[in-house]
Structure 1
Amino acid sequence: MGRTVPTIGLRPYLPADAAIVAAIFVESIEGLTGDDYSEEQQQAWIAAADDEAAFGARLGQQLTLVATLQSSPVGFASLKGADHIEMLYVHPGAAGQGVATALCDALEKLAAARGAAKLTVDASDTAHGFFRKRGYVDQQRSTISAGDEWLTNTRMQKTLAEAPPKGPIQ
């Protein structure tokens, strides 16, 4: 008898989610980025969630979705403005189960619905391949400061499907 794959649920971020999404952020960086970033770089990156209230407030100012498996939060993603993926993080225990794909699919649809023709992301070296497979194209390599460390990422861009013309068909 085959195993059933749990369904990934998506819901809006709520202020009460701040602690759990901060924990997902930390565990994702610690558990998934070690091949691309040093321990010092990871710790500097993680420091962005040291103040859970500020981290939660930042997510609350963006369109943020929380992904769940069996009602438990396992990932989150945020859209800044109409056309920039600000964050996309998945708990290592849920990696490879389609969580990032579900979150990214939803953000792409929401961005298109908001009128965005293109979507950008500053992809970590770890996430670069994921976004490339989704049709994102490298635009610019960047180095950003995090505490006393420097982290590299790549600005990537994807052209979204053109929206159907509005109004009556002629």
Structure 2
Amino acid sequence: MSAPALRPFLPADTPVLAAIFVASIEGLTGDDYGEAQQEAWAAVADDEDEFGKRLASGLTLVATLDSSPVGFAALKGKDHVDLLYVHPGAVGQGVAAMLCDALEKLAAARGAKNLTVDASDNAAEFFAKRGYEALQRNTVSLNGEWLANTTMQKPLGDAGGPK
């Protein structure tokens, strides 16, 4: 299989990215969230028009393997990772790391001193390994269910430092 590649989000990507979003939640979060929580979370993509507007409102990158989308990430403003999802079939192939690297570089180029993310419990370890530190625990209501996440932050700008 070829190496993952990045490209900008196009409105026509919305259905496949919505499917990746749902597959990621259903396939990767079961150890941390109950079935009702997963269903409420995945329902965010039920309205594809609204989901597409959310993707278009930030700087969204699409990761591909052999030209097929397998993940995506979105930068909200200049300093917040709004979304980062990878299809379960592409986990472990460097897709999430490549997406996160790109968002970190873009945020730094936009003048951000830090990059924040509200990491789901299953993603917190990924971000911690990348140098993000937990700032606070959050509980959010989503479609009638309560889900926990952690606001994490990484300082940017030390381009020569370790990754």
TM-score, with structure 1 as normaliser: 0.92
User: What residue in structure 2 maps to residue 59 of structure 1?
Assistant: 55
Q: Give 1:59 deviation, angstroms.
A: 0.5
Pairwise CA distance, 1:7: 1.0
Aligned amino acid, residue 114 of structure 1: R
Instruction: Give the distance between the partners of 1:128 and 1:9, measured in 2 at CA.
Output: 24
Aligned pair partner of 1:72 in 68, 75, 82: 68
1:118 aligns with 2:107: no
- Quote the offset at 1:162 in angstroms: 4.1
- What is the SS of the residue equivalent to 1:102? helix
Unaligned runs of 5+ in 2: none
Confirm whether residue 89 of structure 1 aligns to residue 93 of structure 2. no
- Kindly indicate whether the alpha-carbon contact (under 8 Å) linking 1:117 and 1:162 is maintained by their aligned counterparts in 2: no
State the identity as a percent.
Answer: 68
**How far apart are residue 41 of structure 1 and its match?**
0.1
Q: Which residue of 2 aligns with 1:107?
A: 103
CA shift for structure 1 position 75:
0.1
Higher-Rg member (1/2):
1
The question of whether the paired residues in 2 share the 8 Å contact of 1:112 and 1:163 is answered with no
Contact 1:136–1:156 at 8 Å: present in 2 too?
A: yes
SS in 1 for 2:33: coil
Any unmatched runs of 5+ in structure 1? 165-170
Question: TM-score, normalising length from structure 2?
Answer: 0.96
**2:36 matches 1:40:** yes
1:168 alignment partner in structure 2:
none
Counterpart of 1:134? 130
- 1:8 is matched with which residue? 4
Give deviations 1:27-51, integer Å, cap 9, x for gaps: 0000000000000000000111010
1:84-107 CA-to-partner distances (Å, cap 9, x unmatched) read 000000000001110000000000
What letter is aligned with 1:86?
D
CA offset at residue 161 of structure 1? 2.1
After superposition, the CA RMSD in angstroms is 1.2
Q: What residue in structure 2 maps to residue 154 of structure 1?
A: 150
CA distance in 1, matches of 2:85, 2:144: 23
Specify the alignment match of 1:167 in structure 2.
none
- Deviating beyond 3 angstroms after TM superposition, the runs of 4 or more aligned structure 1 residues are none
Shift of 1:148: 1.6
Q: Is residue 2:32 matched to residue 1:29?
A: no
